[in-house]
Amino acid sequence: MILPTKRVLFLLSMLTYSVCVVSCKEDEAPPVEYDPTLYAFDSGAFPAPDFNGNTPKVAGVQLGRMLFYERALSKDGTQSCADCHLQKDMFSDTRRFSIGVEGLPGKRQAMAVFNVAWHTEGMFWDGRAPLVRDQALKPIQDPLEMNETLPNAVSKLNADQKYKDQFIRAFGDDTITPERIGLAIEQFEFTMISNNSRYDTWQKGEVTLTPEEERGRVLFFRERDPFLNQKGGECFHCHAGFNFTNNEYMNNGLDEEADFSDLGRFMVTHHPEDRARFKVPSLRNIALTPPYMHDGRFSTLEQVIEHYNTGVKNSSTVDGILFHNLEPGGLQLNAQDITDLVAFLKTLTDTTFMTDQRFSSPF
């Protein structure tokens, strides 16, 4: 027979046990499950992009953000995508050539990462990656960049439970593959939209351009007509539309044929007409993404404009508007014209993009 005092102690111990069991169960993390929630994609005044079957989802974007900043994807764990695409520099690299994990420089200037959802004609200066998902995997494997193998990268992620969990949320199971790595980074980069520059607010009628900026805008969008004594920068031929690029590959007259040291698009297509042709970059945020051109040869916007003003060189693949249509004498812009053009180009800077916490490191 249990004495009353002992009975009370027994009941109290059982009650304590029950509370502990219930409490422990309540503290257990819920099972990790697939999350199909679509990302609230807002392109503003830009047209709706084609996601090529990879519509951004909240979990996929978060996974891509993690991978974008993950240094374990490099050979020695010291470098991530973000180390050569810094947010404070509009996700570009202000060094002429990025330095990889082996201390070696790259062959071309790192392109800025924004508005890639509208890059419809391939990625990289030569377009060797058809889609963003393809581009995302190449720096991991490049000996001059992160210098890692994809199998090793997958093994490292498999050893980290937070990644296995996030792949479940993003894709429905914890299978980690190079293809899924590329798709996740692509989803994240799709969300990196820059469309809030001073120029954008001017287009919406919210601000007024200064006289200098307005003169530069007129020059930017106007053709030169020597017969009418009309000055023009001719810039819009290659840098048109909402993203200030025609998405084409062009030879902009940097070198004469004998001086071609980088054959650009030709190395992908093997078409002779593509010799020394490179992707036309967007001019958005251009004031904060030096140096300029595929080889970073120009350090200032003034030098870039002076190239088009007086320095375009002829070759068999140079675009006609950049040479034959401008002879004789080039654009014939004066110092004030160049100053005005630079002032306009600075209105394309989106300062909110460089501080947006959605694109910062999640770690």
Task: Quote the CA–CA distance of 71 and 146 in Å, as a whole number.
Answer: 9
For 90-125, the pLDDT digits (tens) are 999 999 999 999 999 999 999 999 999 999 899 999
Q: Which helix (H) or strand (E) holds 182?
A: helix 178-190
Task: Quote the CA–CA distance of 49 and 65 in Å, as a whole number.
Answer: 20
The model's pTM: 0.90
- Mention every residue, 6+ apart, whose C-beta is less than 8 A from residue 54: 133, 183, 186, 187, 190
Q: If pLDDT is split at 50, 70 and 90, which confidence band does 28 have?
A: confident
For 306-346, the pLDDT digits (tens) are 999 998 999 999 998 876 666 666 788 999 999 999 999 99
Tokens of 45: 């005044």
| pLDDT of 3 above 80 | no
| pLDDT of 24 above 60 | no
Neighbours of 61 (CB within 10 A): 24
pLDDT of res. 330: 76
Neighbours of 175 (CB within 10 A): 12
End-to-end C-alpha distance for the chain, whole angstroms = 61
pLDDT of res. 231: 87
pLDDT of res. 13: 52
Task: Quote the CA–CA distance of 256 and 345 in Å, as a whole number.
Answer: 28
Neighbours of 240 (CB within 10 A): 15
Task: Quote the CA–CA distance of 340 and 222 in Å, as a whole number.
Answer: 13
pLDDT of res. 224: 84
pLDDT of res. 144: 97
Average pLDDT over residues 23-47: 85
For 191-228, the pLDDT digits (tens) are 999 999 999 999 999 999 999 999 999 999 998 887 77
Average pLDDT over residues 230-239: 92
| pLDDT of 21 above 60 | no
Tokens of 62: 């978060």
